[in-house]
Amino acid sequence: MMSNAAIQTTSVRVVLGALIITALVFAAYWPCLNGAFVWDDDEYVYDNDAVKSPDGVSRIWLTTEIPQYYPLTFTTFWLEWQLWGDRTFGYHLVSIVLHAANAILVWVLFRQLRLPGAWLAALVFAIHPIHVESVAWITQRKNTLSGLFYLAAFISFWKFAVGGRTRWYVATLALLTCALFAKTTTVMFPAVLVVVLWWAGRLRQKRVLLALVPLFAMCLAMSGVTIWYESTQVRAIGEEWSAGLPERIAVAGKIVWFYLYKLLVPLEFIYNYPRWQIDPHAWVSYVPAAAALISLVVMLIRRSPWDRALLAGVGSYVICLFPVMGFFNIYYMRYSFVADHFAYLPCLGVVAVVINGIAHLARRHAVNRTLMVILSAVLIAGLTLQTRRYSTAYEGAETLYRDTLEKNDDSWLMHNQLGMLNMRRHHFAAAETHFRRVCELNPRLEEGYNNLRLALVYQNRYKEAVEAARRGLAGASTNTFVALELARLLAISPDPEVRDGVESVFLGRKVVEATGGRSPDALDVLAAGYAEQGRFDEAVRTAREAVIRALDAGKQAQQQGYAEIAARMRSLADDIQRRLRLYESGTAFHAPIMPPPPETD
């Protein structure tokens, strides 16, 4: 048994080690503590009705209102909205604390696995710049939160596997459930467990094998939920996700090497990486996948203890990465096949192998301990500085988008985001420049043409706006929103050379039919088209129907707790009634389309 003095010394070292990890995490991520909301943080937090609603918790867990079914993550957002609303400091602070806690859990886990250099490995995990996206981007709370429960579940199961009581297994079940409800990419948990148990020589225990069965069942069920949600609610379907199996294999091979390179050569990280163009008919497309497979086979065939450890580390990396390797439709992959936040948990296998290998080589060659400490300090200092430098990009939305475009000017996503940012500031000419670039980079994206249309309308350039809308409609003939906005422009534009009541009615009818006659906005536009043609009886009848639909929609939204939607529908009904009075007097409605008030930073 250890003496009291030894126990106290160990305790002091543990506390000191945890404090150093925490301090370095805060040092690295300090620049983003007051960072702004970016990109889809609106959908996840400040424009999410479920997050902002008093009854939001039940809606988060029991409906499909949230963007992805990660109810535990959204519950934390709901709680934080009650505490600090749209002030971002609190959200960033929680994410940083969670990441520091995860790094400490990595240290605990690696110590349990008796890996040399466990504390150094935890430090590398803590301040590696590949995690900036997971920590500094509020939406990626799902990574840091799920990581906390994933690592705690791993520690609990390991205690059970080495002879611990059943309570450790019960804790594993509870913790894994939390991890899955925070983010379902943690479904690979039992598969990674199998690899680590095999490496440790504990896979033959009947008690352990039986305990794995419920874990696999839980993860299989949540996999099904996520696949269904992504395809039916997130709508990760269509041409951008239509790749066949050969192309997906080629993508998967590149993904494996991409993250491995980023982990080992942490020089440049981009918020939105270029989306690879894969030629499924070219043999060279499959070289990365073949190289990855051959490497795994070679490690499996060789019998040395080091190859066994290497296979376990690399194998757990690949297995943990599997859900985001392109075999399943993920909405983000319309923008890029890779993103730093996908590597948050998969990186653990690589970090373990690298640090473990360095420790073994140092021991084998009797490398001076002082030299190793100095080299480790240089490594940690370099990673911390790189992480801190990249964290500064998250100080503001514009800063992040421009940082991305400096490294990847072909990112139509970032051009679109900068365009929208300029629109909100009423910098319409600047917005137009970015939207034209979006249309150039992605000519089939109707959203780009529609945004360009709006930027031109706000500059009173109606002819060009109509041309942009037509181009958008040509690329998306089934898009009712694009058709509706073109119909509106043709009906109410203050420029008589632009107005075309015949085409406006044609488009308006198509939209009304597509929406089953239930859309008050579509009926309103159709009424304006009728009035432009001089068909005022039909305009009056259609406008009255639009008012009824708007009021009914407002009442329904109010009953369901959607106060903002209810208010918007009541306002729309009032506006339609004003137009209705014009139609009743035999006057068409013509007016410039005005932008909302400008936003300030």
Instruction: Note the pLDDT tens digit of each residue in 434-454.
Output: 999 999 999 888 889 989 999
pLDDT band at 478 (very low <50, low <70, confident <90, very high): low
pLDDT band at 163 (very low <50, low <70, confident <90, very high): confident
Residue 11's Cβ-count burial label (10 Å; 0-12, 13-18, 19+) is exposed
Residue given tokens 């997050």 in the structure block:
51
The residue type found at 189 is F
Q: What is the DSSP letter of 395?
A: G
pLDDT at 235 over 70: no
Q: Find the mean pLDDT for residues 220-243.
A: 77
Residues 336/273, Cβ–Cβ less than 8 Å: yes
| Residue 98 burial (CB count, 10 A) | 21
pLDDT of the residue at 344: 96
| The two structure tokens encoding residue 385 | 């500085």
pLDDT at 540 over 50: yes
pLDDT at 84 over 70: yes
pLDDT at 268 over 90: yes
Whose CA is closest to 130, among 244, 238, 262? 262
Q: Find the mean pLDDT for residues 398-423.
A: 94
pLDDT at 477 over 50: no
Whose CA is closest to 88, among 55, 137, 130, 142? 137
Rg value, the chain, Cα: 28
pLDDT of the residue at 42: 86
Query: What is the C-alpha separation between 295 and 314, in angstroms, rounded?
Result: 10
Q: Would the CA dihedral through 28, 34, 36, 40 be positive or negative?
A: positive
Residue 65's Cβ-count burial label (10 Å; 0-12, 13-18, 19+) is middle
Residue 580's Cβ-count burial label (10 Å; 0-12, 13-18, 19+) is buried
pLDDT band at 234 (very low <50, low <70, confident <90, very high): low
pLDDT of the residue at 172: 96
| The two structure tokens encoding residue 440 | 């150039």
DSSP H/E element including 117:
none
Query: What is the C-alpha separation between 462 and 513, in angstroms, rounded?
Result: 27
Percent of the chain residues topping a pLDDT of 70: 94
Residues 126/25, Cβ–Cβ less than 8 Å: yes
CB contact set of 186 (below 8 Å; sequence gap of 6+): 146, 149, 150, 176, 179, 180, 219, 345
pLDDT at 3 over 60: no
More confident call, 566 vs 178:
178
- DSSP reduced 3-state for 166: helix
What are the pLDDT digits (tens) for 96-105? 999 999 999 9
Q: What is the largest CA-CA distance in the chain?
A: 97
Query: What is the C-alpha separation between 509 and 487, in angstroms, rounded?
Result: 10
Query: What is the C-alpha separation between 41 and 80, in angstroms, rounded?
Result: 14
Question: From the centroid of its chain, how far is CA 339?
Answer: 9
pLDDT at 303 over 70: no
Query: What is the C-alpha separation between 29 and 353, in angstroms, rounded?
Result: 26
Degrees, nearest 5: CA angle 412-416-421: 150
Query: What is the C-alpha separation between 487 and 531, in angstroms, rounded?
Result: 13
Please provide the distance, in angstroms rounded to a whole number, between the alpha carbons at the two ends of the chain: 61
CB contact set of 31 (below 8 Å; sequence gap of 6+): 388, 391, 392, 394, 395
pLDDT band at 350 (very low <50, low <70, confident <90, very high): very high
Q: Would the CA dihedral through 515, 517, 518, 522 be positive or negative?
A: positive
Q: Find the mean pLDDT for residues 148-156.
A: 97
pLDDT of the residue at 68: 86
Q: Find the mean pLDDT for residues 142-171.
A: 93
pLDDT band at 241 (very low <50, low <70, confident <90, very high): low
pLDDT band at 49 (very low <50, low <70, confident <90, very high): confident
Query: What is the C-alpha separation between 485 and 466, in angstroms, rounded?
Result: 9
pLDDT at 238 over 70: no
Helices within 137-188 (DSSP H only): 141-161, 166-182
More confident call, 280 vs 419:
419
pLDDT of the residue at 10: 62
Q: What is the DSSP letter of 281?
A: T
Q: Of 212-216, 256-260, 360-364, 557-561, which range is least confident?
A: 360-364
pLDDT of the residue at 559: 81
pLDDT at 463 over 50: yes
Query: What is the C-alpha separation between 580 and 583, in angstroms, rounded?
Result: 5
Residue given tokens 């499909």 in the structure block:
64
pTM (two decimals): 0.88
Q: Find the mean pLDDT for residues 473-498.
A: 83
| The two structure tokens encoding residue 245 | 């199996």
Percent of the chain residues topping a pLDDT of 90: 62
Residues 491/546, Cβ–Cβ less than 8 Å: no
